[in-house]
Structure 1
Amino acid sequence: MTLAITAEQEQLVDAVRRFAARHAPIDKTRAAFDSIAAGELPSWWPEFVDNGFHAVHLPGHAGGQGGTLADTACVVEAAAAALLSGPLLSTVTASAVATLGDASAKPLLVDLAAGATAVVVLPEHCDVRAVSEGNSWRLNGVSDSVLGISAAQRILLPARTSVGDERWFVTAPGAGLKVESKQGTDLCTDVGFFELTDHVVPDSAEISGISTERARCVVVALAACAAAGAVRRCADAATEYIRTREQFGRPVGSFQALQHKAATLLVDSELAASAAWDAVRAETESIDQHRLAAASAAVMAVGAAPDLVLDAMLMFGAIGYTWEHDTHLYWRRATSLAASLGPMTRWTREAGELACTLKRSTAINLGDGEAEFRSWVADTLDQALGLSNHHYSGDPRTPGLATGPQRDLLARRGLVAPNLPAPWGVGASAVQQVIIADEFDKRPGLVRPSLGIAEWILPTILNSGSDLQRERFAWPVVHGVQRWCQLFSEPGAGSDLASLSTRATKVDGGWLINGHKIWTSLADRAQFGALLARTDPEAKKHRGIGYFLIDMASPGVEVSPIKQASGRWEFNEVFLTDVFVSDEMLVGQPDDGWSLAVSTMAVERTAIGNYVTIDRTNVLREIAGTTGSEQDAALRALGDVESYSTAIKALVLRETLRLVEGQGPGATSSIAKYAMVTLLRRAWTATLDLSGRVAMLEKSEPAVVQPYFDAPAELLGGGTPEIQLTVIASMVLGLPRN
């Protein structure tokens, strides 16, 4: 997906895409490499300015379009995907930083809205000194290499005064300011450096009110948008290539290895886009939240982009590496953008330092919308805070399964599972679900209830079950007094549910179930289970399957716990021998099982993807907070993991906002599920690398080995990672099946 959330943003993206196709196709860009390097403006720049694309975020009083930085981010991402050359990114970034200033920035904003080109230089990329001389300032200094400076008609830069404070000035090439062009890595953007020698500017050239920290965040955020655009374009092109390219008599996109590469690339490109979007979104938040979002975007989008584009290029085979193929131009751009932010270790370290005491906020500002509903939710949750639960789950990982008066109140009010229809929930819209989550977040002392495994079974019962089934199961599940398990996987089928062999034979009044289920979570503690069984052995693979609700205390049900590597029992084998299930406990028709299972698993993947809210970095955070030889490595490892976690949160948040805007659900659940697997592996690997000899002990404080040995349970839950990639490849990317 693009960065666009609203319909208006989608229209803006489409307009930029059509403009690029009409005025700046890549073949024309290739013919202009020399003029681009020299800083000459592309022929299409005046018309681009006339359309106002460069000034979407600038205020109307300065000649801009009065939009938001998020709107302009969509322009930057779309332009990068189209490989628009020249001054767009540098100019938009400079104007966005200028908007951080006070009224003194208006003349610059007016110039930029009118079409002047510009560049902003951060303090770490230049060394400039400013000396006051009455009504003017004398500037001296040099810069490092700067993208877009040769084409810049305005330069926004910081300078140190004689008393050590930092001030921002806008200047232009002229007496005492020399710009020297260099041959850049990115052939579609000029690069060079400036040298100031007794360059005099008037007092009016100073722009007050710019926060350097904010400016740095804006620079990173927009660079991340450009990097995300390059990655998206290359991922799309590579996927389309393997969809149609044939070898050995069939499309290469039907080969599982390439399917998984394409699916992984999609996941990574979506995380890059989400991280970039989040860094833009954070512009109105506290400076620490803005810094954490920006550092995460630097890691997940800008820093990751060169490798991701390289992965896409390699999917083309040798042809992708040729000069004539366009992908290498994106590779060059991604490499140059990453270099422009300096060493990536700086950004992982900054993310780690912030993550020691901070978590990225996922709060959404909905304004005054649904004020009455929000007030009702707040009142209900305040009442719940005055109550307690008497029965806890016994597992610190699942505090939401506690039962008692507090949960009962929330169940009666429909706030245990608000997405469910009344009376069990409140049929909450996407906006209302955001409000409920926000109000729970405001009350950290109130644990949000969970349905456990029933979270993905109960919707199937409510949507497709009978009145009797809804009456028997819905309220006990919502109140938390009825535990469920999911009897899908089998020893000979694994994640291939359509290959199951458990049989359901029709008898008078019901069915006799015979078979063997495995890897069934919590079957030893569940009162009921949702079971798939083959009702017609002669039917095609995905047909002739029934979806049954089975009492786990029924005669013929034998549960055998499976001891895990951690020493605990969370999975079970379940043997079913002539287990009678009445007709009343069949959901839907005897051959509806496959479609019902698919809907159940879709909910399951979404729920598992939401596990990102669980803290996975407590050990890393402790090491990072302790002075010692490993502290810096721990900070950078913590920053890497938290950046990945932040990107997943942003991915889910973007999907929520898309739903709020009335759009249909996308592929976020499958993408988030696979991304969670990668996050967990990163977190555990980093923890083991840095905890050292503590991992020799099975029990330690904080716990190191025990969570690690529980890892397979989470890595395999909801389907193996390989199955998730296959689902993404076939269902999302539409690649041909084997």
Structure 2
Amino acid sequence: MSLGLTPEQLDLADAVGQFAGRHAPIATTRATFDALAAGQLPQWWDALVSNGFHAVHLPEELGGQGGRLIDAACVLESAGKTLLPGPLLPTVAAGAVALLADPTPAAESLIRDLAAGTAAAIVLPDDADFHARRDGQRWLITGGSKVTAGAPAARVILVGARANGGEIVWLPVDAQQPTATVESVAGTDLVADVGTLRLTDYAADESAVLTGIDPDRAACIVVGLVASTTAGIVQWCVDAVTAHLRTREQFGKIIGTFQALQHSAAMLLVNSELATAAAWDAVRAADESLDQHRLAAAGAATIAVSPIPDLVLDALTMLGAIGFTWEHDVHLYWRRAISLAGSIGPANRWARRLGELTCTQTRDMSVNLGDAESEFRSWVAETLDAAAQLRNDTPAPHGDYADQASGPQRTLIADAGLMAPHWPAPWGVDAGPLKQLIIDEEFAKRPGLVRPSLNIAEWILPSVLAAAPKELQESLIPPTQRGDIHWCQLFSEPGAGSDLASLATRATKVDGGWRINGHKIWTSLAQYADLGALLARTDPEASKHRGIGYFILDMRSPGIEIQPIKTATGQAHFNEVFFNDVFVPDEMLLGGPTDGWTLAIATMAEERSAISGYVKFDRAVALRRVASEPGPERADAQRALGELDAYTNAIRALGVRETIRLLDGQASGPASSIAKVAMNVLLRRTFAATLQLTGQVAMVDDDDAAVVEPYLHLPAELIGGGTREIQLNIIAQMILGLPRK
């Protein structure tokens, strides 16, 4: 996916791509490396200015296009994807920071110049040692900058200089003045110029100073725009690798059929989607509080900028030796990614900054709905207020899980249709994405009210809704929602885990029903379940996908033997279940005798809209504690926590983007598949970092320490619902379209 979510944003990005194709094909750009490095504007710069691509975010009354920062981000994303050369990024960034200034004549004059096509650059206070001192009614600036993108091409450079007392003086510097010296340096990026700026008593009247620019906000703006560009770079890598894997042959086979390459390409897509989501979040946060903007920008720096060179290197290696040649374009993207990652400073600094912030703050991923569906919101609020006055009095049979307890509170919520609001009435309230989001928000406003969970039944009851007669629905759904019936899912077998179509459990037709014989494994909570959803082979002669039935099984039926499986935790959450001539009546077969595969696929694919985000629980509790308290490991813990929270927030941003798409009436995208793999990666990284930094605490199996006990539960989360490798197969073949064997 691209940064843009609206048709207008997608059209804008496409227009930039078409412009690049006409005016700046990479073959032509290669002939201009020396001129670009020297700061010469591309020959097509005036044409780009005529199209207004450099000024989409600047106000119309000052010569711009009247768009928003996200529109500029879409332009830069497309420029990154097409390797559009020249100083577009620093010019856009200078304009975006200038918009933070108070609307003085000096600020408006700068913005008009930028809108008219003046190439620009920006030097943030931390990227230079500029010092400003007063001299009557003017300022004198002296000092030098670090290496700065776009400095040789710039006619105006927006500089943040420090004055006595810590004040930041923002000044548009005329790069052609004799007291300003710009020196080009040999840049890593071959399609853009870099250089240094030296000022020696550069004089500026008081009236030329821009006021009102917060330096932290300015830095966040710049990072978001850099991240937008690098997101485009890694998107190009996904396209290039996928095209290569679809056509390149080795050993008589298309290499895209090799599973190792499929998994590498799928992970490249996962990381590309997370980078795009993080960049988008940093740009949208420009309209939020500074604290929120800091969180989002640090996350983008950590996920969407700093790792991109390594992701391009992954792409290069998948392209093989040809990717390492001068003739292949991938090295130009690689060099550009290296330069852009270096432009924002050390990666560890951003990660540590984010970890320090997230010890006390969280990124707000809510979507502003305004007063939409106000009557529905009022009804939900009244219902939940009434529920908050009640208490549940019956714990779940498998443990003290507040979200699975039953009693008056849960019954009220269930009977109101708020257990599964996206289901049709009377079991739900037919809630589309907007109403689901409202319900989520109202629950979130009442942290003392635990939202009840259907647990395993959440994946089973949709099949009951789809295929069971009304009488069976009425007997199964209400008591399940109220917590009176508990379920298990009897799908996996010793020889058929993720490959459910290979299952061997047999269902033989007998008078009035079916006889079940076979063996299931890894069945969660079977020892506590009242009912089970069972897949069994009804027609051994049919193809393996077609001869399967979907049965509702009474777990107290004669012939069922349950043997708990004790795991590394010492507990038995899973079970083996044996069936010996277990009778299931005809009315407990959902659909026809061979409809089971279709129903099973629907069950496994059942996803609520991406409303609450994909990350529901904080898995870094122990690490967050180390990062919050003084001690020798604090700095390392803050860095590790920042890296994890950046990844976490990118997954959450992915969910928010999917929610916005759904609210706009668009079809579901690949976000859920991407998020499943990303969650797997996040869990592994979280516990690896936790164990590395908590030391001897990991020697004690103490639940309160939140270190070993949750780590020992990790395999259940990594394997359940399909391993990472299975999910990567799905992404590679179903999303990237790589060939099967």
TM-score (ref. length: structure 1): 0.97
Corresponding position of 2:307: 304
Q: Which moved more, 1:395-404 or 1:663-672?
A: 395-404
Deviation of residue 480 (structure 1)?
2.4
Distance 1:396 1:344 in 2: 43
Is the Cα contact below 8 Å between 1:602 and 1:669 reproduced in 2?
no
Matched to 1:268, the amino acid is N
Corresponding position of 2:5: 5
Corresponding position of 1:118: 120
Decide which of 244, 250, 270 is 2:273's aligned counterpart. 270
Evaluate the alpha carbon distance shift between residue 620 and residue 324 of structure 1 in structure 2; reply closer, same or farther with a 3 A threshold: same
Corresponding position of 2:73: 73
Decide which of 696, 704, 718 is 2:699's aligned counterpart. 696
Distance 2:609 2:519 in 1: 27
Decide which of 180, 184, 188 is 1:185's aligned counterpart. 188
Corresponding position of 2:208: 205
Distance 2:322 2:131 in 1: 50
Evaluate the alpha carbon distance shift between residue 231 and residue 669 of structure 1 in structure 2; reply closer, same or farther with a 3 A threshold: same
Corresponding position of 2:652: 649
Is the Cα contact below 8 Å between 1:546 and 1:590 reproduced in 2?
yes
Corresponding position of 1:332: 335
Matched to 1:505, the amino acid is T
Evaluate the alpha carbon distance shift between residue 581 and residue 395 of structure 1 in structure 2; reply closer, same or farther with a 3 A threshold: closer
Distance 2:78 2:147 in 1: 25
Is the Cα contact below 8 Å between 1:78 and 1:229 reproduced in 2?
yes
Distance 2:44 2:581 in 1: 76
Corresponding position of 1:102: 102
Distance 1:125 1:396 in 2: 55
Evaluate the alpha carbon distance shift between residue 671 and residue 663 of structure 1 in structure 2; reply closer, same or farther with a 3 A threshold: same
Corresponding position of 1:462: 465
- Within 5 Å, which residues of 2 pair with 1:656-671? 656-671=659-674
Evaluate the alpha carbon distance shift between residue 607 and residue 87 of structure 1 in structure 2; reply closer, same or farther with a 3 A threshold: closer
Corresponding position of 2:579: 576
Matched to 2:53, the amino acid is F
* Alpha-carbon displacement from aligned partner over 1:305-338 (angstroms, at most 9, x marks no partner): 0111110111111001111001111111111111
Corresponding position of 2:26: 26
Q: Which moved more, 1:560-569 or 1:168-177?
A: 168-177
Corresponding position of 1:385: 388
Matched to 2:305, the amino acid is V
Q: Are 2:540 and 1:537 equivalent residues in the alignment?
A: yes
* Alpha-carbon displacement from aligned partner over 1:8-56 (angstroms, at most 9, x marks no partner): 1111121111111111111111111111111111122222222222222
Corresponding position of 1:59: 59
Q: Are 2:601 and 1:598 equivalent residues in the alignment?
A: yes
Deviation of residue 197 (structure 1)?
0.5
Corresponding position of 1:149: 151
Q: Are 2:451 and 1:437 equivalent residues in the alignment?
A: no
Evaluate the alpha carbon distance shift between residue 624 and residue 508 of structure 1 in structure 2; reply closer, same or farther with a 3 A threshold: same
Deviation of residue 366 (structure 1)?
2.0
Distance 1:547 1:418 in 2: 25
Distance 1:718 1:74 in 2: 35
Q: Are 2:102 and 1:138 equivalent residues in the alignment?
A: no
Corresponding position of 2:164: 162
* Alpha-carbon displacement from aligned partner over 1:164-198 (angstroms, at most 9, x marks no partner): 31121112211201111111111111100100001
Q: Secondary structure, in 3 states, of the residue corresponding to 2:625?
A: helix
Matched to 2:159, the amino acid is L
Distance 1:475 1:264 in 2: 41
Distance 2:390 2:323 in 1: 63
Q: Secondary structure, in 3 states, of the residue corresponding to 1:566?
A: coil
Matched to 2:237, the amino acid is C
Q: Which moved more, 1:584-593 or 1:633-642?
A: 584-593
Q: Cα RMSD between the aligned structures?
A: 1.7
Q: Secondary structure, in 3 states, of the residue corresponding to 2:35?
A: helix
Q: Which moved more, 1:644-653 or 1:6-15?
A: 6-15
Is the Cα contact below 8 Å between 1:606 and 1:672 reproduced in 2?
no
* Alpha-carbon displacement from aligned partner over 1:106-152 (angstroms, at most 9, x marks no partner): 22112112211211211111111112223321111100001111111
Q: Which moved more, 1:550-559 or 1:183-192?
A: 550-559
Distance 1:70 1:585 in 2: 53
Distance 1:253 1:363 in 2: 39
Distance 1:177 1:200 in 2: 10
Is the Cα contact below 8 Å between 1:694 and 1:700 reproduced in 2?
no
Distance 1:582 1:478 in 2: 24
Distance 1:212 1:66 in 2: 24
Distance 2:93 2:402 in 1: 45
Distance 2:316 2:608 in 1: 30
Distance 2:148 2:605 in 1: 47
Percent of aligned positions that are identical: 59
Decide which of 667, 672, 675 is 2:675's aligned counterpart. 672
Deviation of residue 262 (structure 1)?
0.8
Deviation of residue 284 (structure 1)?
1.8
Decide which of 585, 609, 624 is 2:627's aligned counterpart. 624
Q: Are 2:690 and 1:684 equivalent residues in the alignment?
A: no
Q: Secondary structure, in 3 states, of the residue corresponding to 1:297?
A: helix
Q: Secondary structure, in 3 states, of the residue corresponding to 1:452?
A: coil
Distance 1:719 1:341 in 2: 38
Deviation of residue 369 (structure 1)?
2.3
Matched to 1:118, the amino acid is A
Evaluate the alpha carbon distance shift between residue 392 and residue 52 of structure 1 in structure 2; reply closer, same or farther with a 3 A threshold: farther
Matched to 1:496, the amino acid is D
Q: Are 2:521 and 1:514 equivalent residues in the alignment?
A: no
Distance 1:482 1:71 in 2: 51
Distance 1:609 1:442 in 2: 13
Q: Are 2:414 and 1:411 equivalent residues in the alignment?
A: yes
Q: Which moved more, 1:345-354 or 1:204-213?
A: 204-213
Note the residue ranges of structure 2 that are not aligned, 5 or more in a row.
none
Evaluate the alpha carbon distance shift between residue 556 and residue 313 of structure 1 in structure 2; reply closer, same or farther with a 3 A threshold: same
Corresponding position of 2:492: 489
Distance 1:542 1:368 in 2: 48
Q: Which moved more, 1:11-20 or 1:271-280?
A: 11-20
Distance 2:406 2:692 in 1: 39
Is the Cα contact below 8 Å between 2:355 and 2:645 reproduced in 1?
yes
Is the Cα contact below 8 Å between 2:437 and 2:611 reproduced in 1?
no
Q: Secondary structure, in 3 states, of the residue corresponding to 1:201?
A: strand
Deviation of residue 397 (structure 1)?
8.9
Corresponding position of 2:91: 91
Matched to 2:56, the amino acid is V
Decide which of 439, 447, 451 is 2:454's aligned counterpart. 451
Q: Secondary structure, in 3 states, of the residue corresponding to 1:569?
A: coil
Is the Cα contact below 8 Å between 1:356 and 1:625 reproduced in 2?
yes
Q: Secondary structure, in 3 states, of the residue corresponding to 1:701?
A: helix
Q: Which moved more, 1:263-272 or 1:368-377?
A: 368-377
Evaluate the alpha carbon distance shift between residue 11 and residue 397 of structure 1 in structure 2; reply closer, same or farther with a 3 A threshold: farther
Distance 2:523 2:37 in 1: 62
Is the Cα contact below 8 Å between 2:380 and 2:439 reproduced in 1?
yes
Distance 2:640 2:672 in 1: 26
Deviation of residue 404 (structure 1)?
2.0
- Within 5 Å, which residues of 2 pair with 1:225-304? 225-304=228-307
Deviation of residue 610 (structure 1)?
5.7
Distance 2:395 2:179 in 1: 73
Deviation of residue 606 (structure 1)?
8.2
Distance 1:143 1:622 in 2: 38
Deviation of residue 439 (structure 1)?
2.1
Is the Cα contact below 8 Å between 2:533 and 2:552 reproduced in 1?
yes
Deviation of residue 74 (structure 1)?
1.3
Distance 2:99 2:192 in 1: 24
Distance 1:555 1:473 in 2: 21
Deviation of residue 392 (structure 1)?
3.5
Note the residue ranges of structure 1 that are not aligned, 5 or more in a row.
none
* Alpha-carbon displacement from aligned partner over 1:81-123 (angstroms, at most 9, x marks no partner): 0111111111111111111111022221121122112112111
Deviation of residue 350 (structure 1)?
0.6
Q: Secondary structure, in 3 states, of the residue corresponding to 2:456?
A: helix
